[in-house]
Chains A and B, each alone.
Chain A
Amino acid sequence: MEPTQQAGTGTRLDPWVDAYAARTRGLTASQVRALFAVASRPEVVSLAGGMPFVSALPLDAIADTVARLIRDRGAVALQYGSGQGDVRLREQILEVMAPVGVTAHPDDIVVTAGSQMALDLVVRVFCDPGDVVIVEAPTYVTALGVFSSYQCEVVHVPMDEEGLRPDALREAIAATRAAGKRVKLVYTIPSFHNPAGVCQGPQRRTEVLEVVTSAGLLLLEDDPYGLLGFDGTVPRAIRADESEGVIYLGTFSKTIAAGLRVGWAVAPHGVREKLVLANETATLCPSNLTQLTISDYLATQPWFDQVKVFREVYRERRDALLGSLDALMPAGTTWTVPAGGFYSWVTLPEGLDATAMLPRAVAALVAYVPGTGFFADGQGRQSLRLSYCYPEPERIREGVRRLAGVIEAELEVVGTFGSPTARAERPSASAPYTDLA
């Protein structure tokens, strides 16, 4: 074999390195992503990923559904379908949205491969490079990935215990426009927020909507957890009170199964037409097999009773998390108290950096998602997200016990050196941790 390289010529080991689009610049290997490869090991209590507890599903019933579907309707289930989604499923989605107050026509709905695809399509349809998307501080990690992939600028707006602050939102819109930039969307997760765990009350939703509509902007409402309030209360969607100025994103990932990859967007008709065309360009059509599986499930199974089962499962896990946080967290640690959903947002004692602390945590066999992953602008270093949806309660308690030890150890190290006011050279920003949504 001949030597591969002439002396004096370099190689980057990637012949396409100069061909990639500018939007891929942030897609690099990162230390944090490397640590999450360890988090998948069973020895590690992972409080990182937002994986629903699908074991609580009636798996035998779903198996029967799929078998029957292929046996009796295989020629349809395994074939291409409508780019807008199965019409019967769209009708059923109206029933699914009834508890959150959203009323619409089946033609207003576009079924997508998870609400993640719906989010992607909305941004694809609306945002040019350089357009601004206003989001909460923090926000959903994979939404940031979408905004980045379309070269949007992201502006974060503070939240309080009731979520997005209308006053801060109004200021952010004004400031962004005063800087000569174009705001295209306001993106919000009003119910049981990922990652913050907070929930907008009715009055807050009204105020947020008023700010957005008076600014002539479109509100993108992402609602994966709306049915998972632990006390049985279902927050009324913002879309329930405004149809032209709100695009509503829903999903079956948390109420049925994430692996089926079925979500949807409810949009005004002009937007919906473009979303359908974009959906067809992206995937030709959503999966008939999984759409029909969900449709059959909704028709034959007590799906809302199953939602109540999930609520209990996640409530028990939330209680395990909060109880052990209360008992074990070092002084100076604070956290949100979620009334539903999957997550609590923890703020570490002063001086600690959740990203810097993660290697120590993984070595101690516990994992979380550092707060910086939920910001586009470097904020969040002192925070982290804990997910309680997947591990058994006892594992959650063990995980918090390990995390408490990690925080204590980190406090001791940081305390030795005082709170760092400067940072040593660090690797450049890399892609968000999209596999931890």
Chain B
Amino acid sequence: MTNASQGQVVVLAGGLSAERDVSIRSGRRVADALRVVGVDVTVLDVDANLLGSLGEEKPACVVPLLHGAPGEDGAIRDVLAALGLPFVGSGPAACRRAFDKPIASSLVEAAGVAVPPSMALPHATFRELGAGAVLDAVVARLGLPLMVKPARGGSSLGASVVRTSADLPAAMVAAYAYAEIALVESFVRGTEVAVSVVEDADGPRALPTVEVVPDGGFYDYGARYTAGATEFFVPARLPDDVLSACAAAAVTVHRTLGLRDWSRSDLIVDAEGAPWFLEVNVAPGMTETSTYPQAVAAAGLDLGAVTASLVERAVARG
């Protein structure tokens, strides 16, 4: 039994984003895990009643498990900080850096982690310059195939693999349904992995790398959240030196972006064994099919105990 924090913990889950359903499941699982290790937990949704509830509950700590904006873009954490409530996870500014994929990629690349060539394009660019010319320039610069995704978002919502130029307009439209800016990346072929990071007194460390092999070839929403639709290998079926490189890359991402407590980096390992950064998540999914809990278990740890230790760190930070 770990040393659970004194006082009540509030887990925030739900919200109004397209990932609400995932967040509710993540929140329920973490809340259950915390209760098993003796933590007093209440789960609250983000709505007009939240601030009143927090005022009544006066929790010792908040664990935001909201996926998508405003859970991961720093907004809710700004509010928690303004209320003087300790919370688990990255601070608001770090969230803003991480949630914006183009910004995160540029910072991570400057820190020495490989990043696929990409372009971040608001819809207005196509309207002003002419879609055909811009799309031609995109393909000329980045080649095919491409990965198109909303610049802000998660769970592969709005993301598409584009194999021909003819497919590109529809993929852009799909991405713009979720965000104002679309990120278009050169598609990196390789092994898809998720590397979870947790912090303790010695700093951030990577947990075992999880290899993701979706049945349909694309780790889309269905593959992520349908049990049985994806096969996972923990640790990933990669040589030790490559696994070390993945771990190092994830820790570099965590440090470079100034993240805190926990994060999950999604990488592609190419045929030469080089990890390429795709995106990082400051509120990793904790559902029954998510990779973070698998990594925790593979490390011989308990999700409740890990989360409780992060709660204690947050409380100590004040």
Contacts and interface: CB of A to CB of B under 8 A. Distances in A.
Interface of A: 1-5, 7-14, 16-17, 20, 27-31, 33-35, 37-38, 41-44, 353, 356-360, 362-363, 410, 412-414, 416-418, 420-428, 430
A341 B157 CA distance: 34
B24 A413 contact: no
A11 B234 CA distance: 8
B228 A14 contact: yes
A416 B126 contact: yes
8 contacts: A3-B208, A4-B234, A34-B22, A360-B177, A420-B169, A422-B167, A424-B162, A427-B216
Interface stretch (B75-83, B106-114, B194-202, B294-302): B294-302
Nearest to A429: B222
Given A10-B233, A34-B20, A412-B127, A417 B222 contact: no
Contacts of B299: 3
A2 B208 CA distance: 13
Contacts of B298: 3-5
Contacts of B183: none
A270 to B, nearest CB: 41
Contacts of B227: 12-14, 17
Given A13-B289, A29-B224, A34 B173 contact: no
A65 B54 CA distance: 42
A413 B179 CA distance: 12
A28 B18 contact: no
Nearest to B230: A12
Contacts of B226: 27-29
A31 B166 contact: no
Nearest to A12: B228
Contact of A417 (B47, B172, B177, B234): B172
A27 to B, nearest CB: 8
B170 A422 contact: yes
Contacts of B22: 34
A360 B301 CA distance: 40
Contacts of A34: 18-22, 155, 157, 221, 225
Contacts of B11: none
A330 B24 CA distance: 36
B123 A416 contact: yes
Centre residue among A11, A29, A353 by max chain B CB count within 10 A: A29
A431 to B, nearest CB: 10
Contact of B233 (A8, A31, A420, A426): A8
Given A3-B297, A416-B131, A38 B173 contact: no
A7 B47 CA distance: 44
Nearest to A32: B221
B237 interface: yes
Nearest to B155: A34
Interface string B139-181: 0000000001000000101101111101111111110111000
Interface in B115-145: 123, 126-127, 131, 135
A359 B169 CA distance: 17
A427 B221 contact: yes
B233 A9 contact: yes
Contacts, number: 164
A388 to B, nearest CB: 23
Contacts of B127: 412, 416
Contacts of B131: 416-418
A425 B231 contact: no
Nearest to A420: B170
Contacts of A42: 47
A422 B299 CA distance: 45
Interface of B: 16-22, 24, 47, 123, 126-127, 131, 135, 148, 155, 157-158, 160-164, 166-174, 176-178, 208, 213, 216, 218, 220-235, 237, 288-289, 294, 297-302
A427 B131 CA distance: 25
A8 B289 CA distance: 19
Given A35-B18, A362-B18, A418 B169 contact: yes
Nearest to B231: A10
Contacts of A362: 18
A363 B226 CA distance: 24
B16 A38 contact: yes
Given A10-B232, A13-B289, A17-B227, A29 B221 contact: yes
A424 B176 contact: no
Given A4-B298, A413-B123, A30 B221 contact: yes
B143 to A, nearest CB: 16
Given A17-B228, A359-B157, A425-B163, A10 B18 contact: no
A16 B302 CA distance: 24
Contacts of B19: 34
Contact of A12 (B24, B168, B231): B231
A31 B156 CA distance: 9
Given A10-B232, A11-B233, A427-B222, 9 more contacts: A4-B234, A30-B222, A34-B18, A34-B22, A35-B18, A38-B20, A418-B169, A427-B216, A427-B223
Q: Which 9 A-B pairs have the closest CB atoms?
A: A17-B228, A424-B160, A417-B169, A424-B171, A420-B170, A37-B21, A29-B225, A14-B227, A14-B228
A419 to B, nearest CB: 9
A29 B289 CA distance: 11
Contact of A428 (B162, B171, B222): B222
Contacts of A30: 221-222
A427 B177 contact: no
Nearest to A1: B300
Contacts of B17: 38
Contacts of B223: 427
A426 B176 contact: no
Contact of B216 (A11, A44, A410, A428): A428
B28 to A, nearest CB: 13
A12 B228 CA distance: 5
A425 B161 contact: yes
Nearest to B298: A3
A7 to B, nearest CB: 6
A325 to B, nearest CB: 22
Nearest to A34: B21
Contact of B222 (A28, A44, A358, A412): A28
B297 to A, nearest CB: 4
B170 to A, nearest CB: 4
Nearest to B163: A425
B270 to A, nearest CB: 21
Nearest to A40: B20
Contact of B297 (A4, A359, A420, A421): A4
A421 to B, nearest CB: 7
